[in-house]
Amino acid sequence: MELKQSSAKLNRSLIRGLEILRCFKPGVDLLGNSEIAERTKLPPSTVSRLTQTLVLSGFLEHSKKDSAYRLAPTTLSLGHAYKTGSQEIKLAAPLMRKASEKYKLNVGLAIADRMEMVYLESIRYTRNIALRTVVAGQRVPIERTSLGMAWIATLEPTKRKEFISEIKRQKLSHWEQIEKEINLAIESIEEKQYCIANWLPDISAISTPIKLLNGQQASLNFSTPADGRLNKVLETYSPHLLDLKDMIEAAFKSI
């Protein structure tokens, strides 16, 4: 979390309140004050005061039965407001959908948020409803996905080294293999403008960096159910992925 610059102007209570909201992710419905304190490393008394404030402001709901908190509907409206107001999504989504239908692939656009990538838009093409559904707002690991690796490759070398060191401090299992895959992805981005990764056993994805309207780096990807030929099959679509990137960036420049 980059809070060093102009730190004297930052509202610490607001920052702490937002850290509490960050604790709630898919699969985490209810959290008590002690669990929130453990996740945020904040004093229990501070957490208790802030959760009460968040309830009064309509961002959390309190369950008396469970003595815990859950996100309130207000948070959902914020996501909807962002998606409907985003110029990037308005311009990129139609092009992504057209590519998905043409090539029969999933198409995603995501940005980095700390140690995860967050989908801004996700167009799913699948004839098998049993496959997992990825929607806007969903998070995936930055260090294991082609989306994340493509983003890491855009970092200036010094910042990239610091970021990878930060990932390493998470003490992930199989770190040596993960680091090797990240380095291979960086080389691939530098040489070919795209990288391939197989984060899940049944999904293969190919990604390329793309710059948003505000200059922020994001990642664009194609993904498909994996099979024995997954990398070779998906790599044949790399020219189409790069063409889609060019079309989206051209659309951004047109406004």
**More confidently predicted of 227 and 101:** 101
Q: pLDDT category, 232, cuts 50, 70, 90?
A: low
pLDDT of residue 231: 60
User: Encoding tokens for residue 251?
Assistant: 């659309």
The angle formed by the CA atoms of residues 135, 153 and 5, to the nearest 5 degrees, is 85
| Tokens describing residue 33 | 């004050």
Q: Is 71 helix (H, G, I), strand (E, B) or coil?
A: strand
Q: Which CATH superfamily is domain 86-253 in?
A: GAF domain (3.30.450.40)
In this prediction, residue 2 carries a pLDDT of 46
The per-residue b/e assignment along 57-87, b for 16 or more CB within 10 angstroms, e otherwise, is: eebbebeeeeebbebbeeeeeeeeeeeeebe
Q: What is the mean pLDDT of residues 137-160?
A: 95
pLDDT at 128: 56
Q: What is the mean pLDDT of residues 226-246?
A: 80
**Of all helices (H) and strands (E), which one includes residue 95?**
helix 87-103
pLDDT tens column, 1-34: 444 545 667 899 999 999 999 999 888 889 999 9
* Residues 43-82: tens digit of each pLDDT: 999 999 999 999 999 999 999 999 999 999 999 999 999 9
Give the other-Cβ count within 10 Å of 218's Cβ: 22
* Amino acid identity at 226: A
Query: Whose CA is closest to 144, among 174, 122, 123?
Result: 174
pLDDT at 127: 58
- Give the distance, in angstroms, between the CA of residue 217 and the centroid of all CA atoms in the same chain: 12
* Mean model confidence pLDDT for the chain: 90
Q: What is the DSSP string of 105-137?
A: -EEEEEEEETTEEEEEEEE---S-TTSPP--TT
Per-residue confidence (pLDDT) for residue 227, from 0 to 100: 57
CB atoms within 10 A of CB 142: 23
Q: φ and ψ at 119, to 5 degrees? A: -70, 125
Is the four-CA dihedral 110, 113, 117, 119 of positive or negative sign? negative
The reported pTM is 0.88
CATH code: domain 7-72 is: 1.10.10.10
172-184 residue pLDDT tens? 899 999 999 999 9
pLDDT of residue 1: 41
Q: Which two tokens stand for residue 75?
A: 């948070």
Question: In the chain, where are the structural domains located?
Answer: 7-72, 86-253
One-letter amino acid identity for 49?
Answer: R
In which region does residue 58 sit, left (phi positive, over 0), alpha (psi from -120 to 50) or beta (all else)?
A: left
Q: Please, which pLDDT band fits residue 89 given cuts at 50, 70 and 90?
A: very high
